Amino acid sequence: QVPPLSVKSGANLGGKVELVGATVEPGRLKAGDQAKVALYFKVLQPMDDDYLIFVHVEDADGRAERINVDHKPAGGLLPTSQWKPGETVKDEFPVYVPPGSTARALNIWLGFWEPRTDSRLRILNPNAVRNDGKDRVLLGQVPVAR
């Protein structure tokens, strides 16, 4: 069994939320496998809107189509408008590697998206975290075994 990937982040999203860190279990996948991702957010300020957590799973070499795993936080049980400053919120979701995938690794990108206005929470500390300049935080790269 491959140990989980553990990631520290510190990404400040809109001054509202800090992505403290995450785990990806297992820390290496094979085609057809699934991993459980757990995100940990520290709430900095109240949020008026209910954001979705957008997740883009991409072939690290750019050879396959992106997989979207956008979802409501905590399975829809804890909308962001109910988050209280000072609390830590855990969000879990699965990531799949399609059967027959030839990817050597998957990049997991994420952020917060408000669908009504089609807007993302901005990364306020882009020099301190890995990102793509489009308000997507690079959570990490998960190796895919052949």
Say if residues 109 and 137 touch (Cβ distance below 8 Å).
Answer: yes
Residue with tokens 């929470």: 121
Q: What is the pLDDT of residues 9-58, one digit of tens each?
A: 999 999 999 999 999 999 999 999 999 999 999 999 999 999 999 999 99
- CA 46 and chain centroid, separation: 20
Domain ranges (residues) in the chain: 5-145
This prediction's pTM = 0.94
Determine the straight-line distance between the first and last CA of the chain, rounded to whole angstroms. 16
Q: Percent of the chain beyond pLDDT 70? A: 99
Say if residues 88 and 45 touch (Cβ distance below 8 Å).
Answer: no
Name the architecture of domain 5-145: Sandwich (2.60)
Length of the chain: 146
